Structure 1
Amino acid sequence: MSQCNRRTFIVQLVAGSSALAFGRLSVADEAKKILTEDDAYAKSMGFRLDTTQVDQAKYPKHTVEQKCSECQLFSGEPGEPLGPCSFFGKRLVPVDGWCRNFKPNGAA
C-alpha cells in the first residue's frame, strides 16, 4: 500500500481542482456559440435568423411579431443584438430570430 503524505495530497488536490475549473471554462465557451441555420437541431426546429424569412406554408401559425426577443426562453439583455436561448442550450440567437418552439413572454 502506498503512503500519501500531506504534501502529496495537497498537490493532487490542487491539480484536480485546476482540471475541474478548466473543464467548466470550456463548457462556458461552448455555451456562448452563435446558433446558425445550418445546425441540424436548429433546422429540425425551423430556426431562422430573421423571423420575416420563415416559410408561412410550413409554419402557418407563425407571425412576424413572434421573434426570439419576445420568447420566454430568450434571456438576452435589452439593446443587445444576440442573447442566450435556454431551448438551444444557451447558444446565442438573434433578437429577430424564430423557431417553432416560440413561447410568448408571460405564457404558461
Structure 2
Amino acid sequence: MEEKDSRHGRHWGEEEEEEEEEEEEEEEEEEEEEEEEEEEEEEEEEEEEEEEEEEEEEEEEEEEEEEEEEEEEEEEEEEEEEEEEEEEEEEEEEEEEEEEEEEEEEEALATLSASAS
C-alpha cells in the first residue's frame, strides 16, 4: 500500500512539474507575442513618423518652389518696368530733339526772311 502511495506521489509530482513547465511555456509564448506586438506597434509608429517627415519635406519644397517662382515674377516685373522707363526716356529725348530742330528751323527761316526783306 505504501509503495503505491509513494509511486502515486512521485507520479503526482511529475504531473505537477509538467503542468508548471506548460504554464511557463505558455507565459513565455504570451510574453513573446506581447513583445512582437510591441515591436509591430513601434514599427508602425516609426513608419508613420517617416511618412509625416516626408510630407513635411515635400511641403517645404513646394513652398520654396513657390517662393522662387514669386521672386522670378517680381524680377521680371522689375525688368519690364525698367524697360518701359527707358523707352519713355528715349521718347522724351526724341521729342526734345525734334522740338530743338523745329526751333532751329524756325530761327533759320526767321533769319532768312529778315535778311530777305
TM-score range, shorter chain: 0.3 to 0.5
Judging by fraction of residues, say which structure has more strand.
1
Higher helix share: 2
Q: Rg: which structure is higher?
A: 2
